[in-house]
Each structure stands twice: as structure tokens, then as C-alpha cells.
């Protein structure tokens, strides 16, 4: 899988903030401020987030960048296209969203890019 594509999915502002593309601007701002507060308090529940390619580490800097990206309508549209996949789709309903992968096979979703319609470079 192309590393830049994996990064686009892993660092997508919607996944960083834990909101879906349908979230309003107010919801995005509210969630971002909440996460910044939680990170300031060093709450472990805010330190990681789920993506279709596996869990990632959330930092205050990532949250601030995500909020800034989603304030720009053109940038937001690009991120919406990349955030069409549900980051928790590979988990069972009984598993919490922040649970680590159960096995190596559960880690990154290798078919994430093809599910978005991307093909491997030849």
C-alpha cells in the first residue's frame, strides 16, 4: 500500500477528531476543544484514535491542525472524500472503539484503499 495514501487515511482530520464527514462546523469545533482539554489533562482515552488502517496516536498538535484543515471549505471537501470509511467497521459491536487490534490480522485494513476505489500503482 502506498505510504502517502496510508498517511492521508491515518492523519485525516475527521479521524483525528473522531467525527464523521457529516459533522457540522460547530460539532467539529466542540469535539476539537474537548480533545484538547482531555490531552492537556493527559487522559489516556484521548491519546489514541481509530482509522481504517489501524490505530494512531493523537497529539494536541494533530488536533489543532485537524481543526484548521476543516475550517477551510476546499480542504474539508478533500478530507471528506478520504474519510468515507468507517474507522470502526472492522470491530465487533462488543469491542470499544479504542480497543487495540486483537491480532496482527486485525491491525491495518489492507483493502481500505481499494474500498475507496484506488488501484495499486503499476
Q: Is residue 76 part of a domain?
A: yes
Q: For residue 108, name the pLDDT band (cuts at 50, 70, 90).
A: low
Q: What is the CATH number of the domain that holds 54?
A: 1.10.287
Distances (CA, A) of 8 to 1, 95, 96: 12, 25, 24
Q: Is residue 20 part of a domain?
A: yes
Q: Is residue 83 part of a domain?
A: yes
pLDDT tens per residue across span 75-107: 999 899 888 877 766 544 445 555 555 555 555
Task: Calculate Rg over the CA atoms of the chain.
Answer: 14
Global pTM reads 0.70
Q: Is residue 93 part of a domain?
A: no
Q: Is residue 122 part of a domain?
A: no
CA 89, CA 30: separation in Å to the nearest integer?
24
CA 15, CA 56: separation in Å to the nearest integer?
9
Q: Is residue 96 part of a domain?
A: no
Query: What angle do helix axes 60-71 and 73-82 make, rounded to 10 degrees?
Result: 110
How many domains are there within the chain? 1
Helix boundaries (H) for 3-97: 3-10, 13-17, 25-40, 60-71, 73-82
The parent domain of residue 49 ranges over: 3-88+102-115
E strand or H helix at 112: helix 112-115
Amino acid at each position: 500500500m502506498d505510504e502517502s495514501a496510508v498517511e492521508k487515511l491515518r492523519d485525516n482530520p475527521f479521524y483525528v477528531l473522531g467525527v464523521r464527514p457529516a459533522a457540522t462546523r460547530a460539532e467539529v469545533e466542540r469535539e476539537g476543544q474537548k480533545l484538547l482539554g482531555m490531552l492537556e489533562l493527559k487522559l489516556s482515552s484521548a491519546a489514541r484514535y481509530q482509522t481504517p488502517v489501524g490505530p494512531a496516536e493523537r497529539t494536541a498538535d494533530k488536533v489543532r491542525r485537524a481543526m484548521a484543515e476543516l475550517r477551510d471549505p476546499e480542504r474539508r471537501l478533500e478530507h471528506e472524500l478520504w474519510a468515507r470509511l468507517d474507522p470502526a467497521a472492522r470491530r465487533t459491536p462488543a469491542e470499544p472503539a479504542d480497543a487495540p487490534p486483537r491480532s496482527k490480522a486485525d491491525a491495518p485494513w489492507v483493502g481500505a484503499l481499494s474500498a475507496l476505489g484506488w488501484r495499486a500503482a503499476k
